[in-house]
Amino acid sequence: MHYDFKKQIRSFGYAWKGIRCVMGKEQNLSFHLIATLCAVTGGVFFSITRMEWIAVILCIGMVIGAELFNSAIERIVDLVSPQRHPLAGQIKDIAAGAVLICALTALIIGLIIFIPYLTRFLL
């Protein structure tokens, strides 16, 4: 089996092109990126533990990945159903709900990690 390194590099290029396609166009993704910046800044400021960093990074990846999936699903639905259709709306709502669940989970994990640091810092 022959491994095509150039083909693999092109695949990464297409993936980055997809990410750039969504950047700046999706308001929710912009919000998640701001939250990412806050979490990373807080992690550096409070010198969180390695395990806490792992949790924060997993949460960031989960939420941004979910947002990218949601954007892709929205575009597919718009492509196959350009006119309004109740099922198309439900599909978009379900995908958005998945992002919300991921974001709320990340928020809870973030609160579990950062509240003790904030409490010690403020008291």
- Distance in angstroms (rounded) separating the CA atoms of residues 117 and 121: 6
CA angle, residues 24, 29, 32, in degrees to nearest 5: 130
- How confident is the model at residue 1, as a pLDDT? 61
Is 67 a catalytic site residue?
yes
CB 95 within 8 A of CB 70: yes
Residues in Cβ contact with 117 at an 8 Å cutoff, skipping those fewer than 6 apart: 42, 46, 48
Per-position pLDDT tens, the chain of length 123: 677 888 888 888 889 888 888 887 888 898 999 999 999 999 999 999 999 999 999 999 999 999 999 999 999 999 999 999 999 999 999 999 999 999 999 999 999 999 999 999 999
User: Is 0.75 surpassed by the pTM of this model?
Assistant: yes
Q: Which of 26, 52, 67, 74 is catalytic?
A: 67
List, in order of start, the domains of the chain with CATH numbers. 22-122 (1.10.287.3610)
